A and B are shown apart, each in its own frame.
Chain A
Amino acid sequence: MAIAVTLKLAALTALILVVIGLPLAHWLSFSRWRWKFLVESVVALPLVLPPTVLGFYILVAIGPQSPLGRFYIAIVGHPLPFTFEGLLFASVLYSLPFAVQPFVAAFEQVDRRLIEASWTLGVSRIKTFFKLIIPLSVAGVVTGFVLSFAHTLGEFGVVLMVGGNIEGVTRTVSIDIYDEVQALNYAGAAKTALFLLAISYAVLLGVYAMNRKVWTIWPQK
Chain B
Amino acid sequence: MASEMIVAIQKSFPGRLSVDASFRLPLDPPTILILFGPSGAGKTTVLRCLAGLEWPEQGSIQFGDEVWVETKVGTRMPPQKRRIGFMSQDYSLFPSHSVEDNIAFGLGELDAASRRQRVTEVMALLQLQGAERVRPNQLSGGQQQRVALARAIARRPQLLLLDEPLSALDAPTQSKLCGELRSLLKQLAIPSVVVTHDWAEALTLGDQMTVINEGRVLQTGTPQEVFSRPRDAEVARIVGVETVVQGRVIDSSSGLSTIDVDGTKLMALADAELGLDVFVCVRAEDVVLETLGVGATSARNHLAGTVREVTIMGALVRIRIDCGFLLSALVTRSAVEDLRLSPGVPVVAAIKAGAVHLVSRGSRAASACASA
Residues of A within 8 A of B (CB): 111, 113-114, 116-124, 127, 131-132, 135-136, 221
Contacts and interface: CB of A to CB of B under 8 A. Distances in A.
Contacts of B135: 221
Contacts of A118: 94, 105
A144 B348 CA distance: 76
B92 A117 contact: yes
B52 A221 contact: no
B303 interface: no
Given A114-B94, A131-B105, A221 B80 contact: no
B86 interface: yes
B51 interface: yes
12 contacts: A113-B88, A113-B90, A117-B92, A119-B53, A119-B78, A119-B80, A120-B84, A121-B105, A123-B106, A127-B108, A132-B96, A136-B95
Contacts of A117: 86, 88, 92, 94
A114 to B, nearest CB: 5
Contacts of B138: 221
A136 B93 CA distance: 12
Could you say which of B96, B135, B151 has the most chain A C-beta atoms within 10 Å of its C-beta? Answer: B96
A120 B52 contact: yes
A116 B92 CA distance: 9
B98 to A, nearest CB: 10
Complex A-B, nearest 7 residue pairs according to Cβ-Cβ distance, in ascending order: A121-B106, A120-B86, A117-B92, A135-B96, A119-B79, A113-B92, A120-B79
Contacts of B78: 119
B333 interface: no
Interface in B33-88: 51-53, 78-86, 88
B80 A122 contact: yes
B137 interface: yes
Nearest to A132: B94
Given A116-B79, A135-B97, A111 B92 contact: yes
Contacts of B96: 132, 135-136
A22 to B, nearest CB: 16
Interface string B85-122: 11010101011110000000110110000000000000
Q: Range of interface residues on chain B?
A: 20 to 34
Contacts of B106: 121-123
A123 B92 contact: no
A124 B80 contact: yes
A221 B134 CA distance: 9
Contacts of A136: 94-96
A122 B155 CA distance: 9
A123 B109 CA distance: 10
A125 to B, nearest CB: 8
Contacts of B105: 118, 121, 123, 131-132
B144 to A, nearest CB: 13
B114 to A, nearest CB: 15
A24 B341 CA distance: 74
A110 to B, nearest CB: 10
Given A122-B80, A124-B80, A135-B96, A116 B151 contact: no
Nearest to B85: A120
Contacts of B52: 119-120
B135 to A, nearest CB: 5
Contacts of B81: 122
Interface centre among A113, A114, A117, A221 (most CB of B within 10 A): A117
Contact of B83 (A114, A122, A124): A122
Given A122-B106, A127-B108, A114 B92 contact: yes
A151 B80 CA distance: 41
A118 B52 CA distance: 12
Contact of A120 (B51, B94, B95, B137): B51
Contacts of A114: 92, 94
Interface string B268-292: 0000000000000000000000000
B88 A123 contact: no
A114 B59 CA distance: 27
A164 B155 CA distance: 59
A194 to B, nearest CB: 40
Given A121-B105, A221-B137, 8 more contacts: A116-B53, A116-B79, A120-B79, A121-B151, A121-B155, A123-B80, A123-B108, A132-B105
